[in-house]
């Protein structure tokens, strides 16, 4: 029997039960080039299933990594080949307004590759970083390297936590929900630290 999942995780259980590994790579790929899809959540659920003996942890990790890299590279091609006009035309469907696009382009132009790694852990930036990297003209091999590093860290983090949770998710989930605000603050502080470090290095 699969573990009983609480909260929003329970909504994805039927999808994972029915489509299995295909749901993991499919939803992560869709999420990572801008389509609103619960990619991160399905990765966590897949890892929890693996921890409970319902799925293979290595396959969950490999498919999660493949979906993350593939999705971001599709986003990169959309930004690079489609250009700003295409992104502005369809960006409103994923909350990527022209104003947000301007700020994001400036951000990427100034801080580059390191932001791609950090963006992987930030909702919103995770879905848009490939598109923005393509728009700003970042070299594809450079983008691919940072993107692969960020994807590996992201998948490794969530797969490890999900696997450790296993059948204890009913205990862990309420604690995670209670402290998610503090986690968001911690991520924000990390991003700020990366920016400050980059600024200081430029001044030197």
Q: For residue 54, is it within any domain?
A: yes
Q: For residue 73, is it within any domain?
A: yes
Q: Tell me what pLDDT residue 21 has.
A: 92
Q: Tell me what pLDDT residue 90 has.
A: 61
Look up the pTM and report it: 0.73
Q: Tell me what pLDDT residue 188 has.
A: 61
Q: Which residues of the chain have pLDDT under 50?
A: 175, 179
Q: For residue 88, is it within any domain?
A: yes
Cα gap 150→121, rounded to integer Å: 8
Cα gap 159→164, rounded to integer Å: 8
Cα gap 96→98, rounded to integer Å: 7
Q: What is the pLDDT of residues 122-137, one digit of tens each?
A: 777 787 788 888 887 8
Q: For residue 3, is it within any domain?
A: no
Taking the alpha carbons of 70, 72, 73, 75 in that order, is the dihedral positive or negative? positive
187: CB partners within 8 A, 6+ apart: 121, 122
Q: Tell me what pLDDT residue 167 has.
A: 56
52: CB partners within 8 A, 6+ apart: 2, 3, 166, 167
Domain count of the fold of the chain:
1
CA 119 to chain centre: 7
Q: How many CB atoms lie within 10 A of CB 31?
A: 24
Q: For residue 79, is it within any domain?
A: yes
CA 103 to chain centre: 20
Please tell me the total number of residues recorded for the chain in this structure.
204
Cα gap 177→184, rounded to integer Å: 11
Q: Tell me what pLDDT residue 194 has.
A: 62
Q: Tell me what pLDDT residue 162 has.
A: 78
Contact 103, 174 (CB under 8 A): no
Task: End-to-end CA distance of the chain: give it in Å, rounded.
Answer: 58
Q: For residue 105, is it within any domain?
A: yes
Range of the structural domain that residue 70 is part of: 9-203
Q: For residue 1, is it within any domain?
A: no
Q: Tell me what pLDDT residue 118 has.
A: 80
Q: For residue 2, is it within any domain?
A: no
């Amino acid at each position: 029997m699969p573990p009983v999942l609480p909260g929003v995780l329970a909504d994805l259980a039927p999808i994972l039960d029915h489509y299995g590994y295909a749901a993991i790579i499919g939803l992560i790929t869709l999420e990572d080039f801008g389509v609103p899809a619960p990619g991160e959540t399905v990765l966590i659920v897949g890892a929890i299933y693996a921890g409970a003996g319902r799925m293979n942890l290595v396959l969950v990790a490999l498919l999660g990594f493949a979906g993350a890299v593939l999705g971001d590279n599709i986003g990169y091609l959309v930004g690079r080949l489609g250009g700003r006009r295409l992104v502005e035309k369809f960006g409103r469907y994923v909350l990527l307004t022209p104003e947000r696009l301007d700020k994001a382009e400036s951000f990427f132009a100034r801080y580059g590759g390191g932001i791609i790694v950090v963006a992987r852990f930030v909702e919103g930036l995770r879905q848009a970083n490939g598109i923005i990297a393509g728009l700003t003209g970042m070299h594809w091999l450079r983008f691919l390297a940072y993107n692969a590093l960020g994807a590996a860290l992201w998948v490794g983090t969530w797969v490890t936590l999900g696997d450790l949770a296993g059948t204890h998710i009913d205990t862990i989930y309420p604690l995670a929900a209670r402290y998610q605000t503090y986690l968001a603050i911690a991520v924000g502080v990390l991003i700020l630290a990366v920016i400050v470090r980059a600024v200081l290095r430029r001044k030197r």
